[in-house]
């Protein structure tokens, strides 16, 4: 599909009641007869049906499960969407689509038919910068068993995950993290090479 540049998208929404959302998509297990790739495509169509305007869609990437050894490899992608949704409505819509596509929330980092993560809603920081920084700095062992009791935006781990940043660089390379002050491209460049070595685009 034709893709707008990120600057074009921003300019096009300034005079509308729509806001920009960055969404990460992932899947590493089948949903019925559908492969992970097909399930992600179904998720994109349901976002559109729910009122989201898809401005840009990344390539699909094969990525190792995170944490390492936690399951089959993932298919990952990213979207730039605009919608007349509040942050709460965006989260509600994404969770409803996940449930429709067979997502069962059990293990924190278990296998899943579909994962739709709201990475950012414009430049909003939720609930506040101090809370975001605290979750960004949470040690890995605590991450495994600790779940926020509210939505944290931008996603507190996005800056350190190659499987998020590599697809996102396809569609929103110039988006600036409102707390770190870095673009997606800069955050991606800051990751060690070994963090990206096994992430490969699907031809």
Write the pLDDT tens digit of every residue in 68-77.
767 789 999 9
Write the pLDDT tens digit of every residue in 119-144.
999 999 999 999 999 999 988 777 66
DSSP state letter for 122: T
Write the pLDDT tens digit of every residue in 83-105.
999 999 999 999 999 999 988 87
User: What pLDDT was estimated at residue 103?
Assistant: 82
Q: pTM here?
A: 0.88
Q: Is the pLDDT of residue 53 over 80?
A: yes
Q: Classify residue 3 by burial, with Cβ atoms within 10 Å: 0-12, 13-18, 19+.
A: middle
Domains assigned to the chain? 6-198 (3.30.70.560)
User: What pLDDT was estimated at residue 8?
Assistant: 61
The tokens describing 19, both together, are: 């806001």
């Amino acid at each position: 599909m034709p893709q707008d540049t990120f600057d074009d998208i921003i300019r096009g929404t300034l005079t509308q009641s729509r806001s920009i959302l960055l969404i990460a998509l992932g899947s590493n297990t089948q949903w019925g007869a559908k492969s992970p790739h097909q399930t992600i495509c179904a998720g994109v169509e349901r976002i559109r049906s729910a009122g989201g305007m898809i401005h840009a869609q990344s390539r699909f990437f094969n990525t190792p499960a995170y944490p390492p050894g936690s399951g089959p490899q993932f298919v990952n992608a990213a979207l730039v969407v605009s919608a007349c949704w509040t942050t709460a409505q965006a989260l509600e819509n994404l969770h409803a689509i996940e449930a429709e596509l067979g997502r069962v929330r059990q293990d924190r980092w278990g296998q899943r038919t579909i994962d739709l993560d709201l990475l950012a809603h414009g430049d909003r920081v939720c609930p506040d910068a101090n809370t975001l920084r605290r979750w960004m700095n949470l040690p890995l062992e605590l991450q495994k068993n600790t779940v926020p009791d509210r939505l944290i935006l931008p996603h507190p781990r996005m800056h350190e995950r190659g499987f998020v940043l590599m697809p996102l660089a396809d569609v929103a390379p110039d988006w600036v993290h409102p707390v770190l002050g870095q673009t997606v491209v800069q955050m991606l460049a800051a990751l060690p090479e070994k963090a990206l070595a096994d992430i490969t685009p699907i031809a």
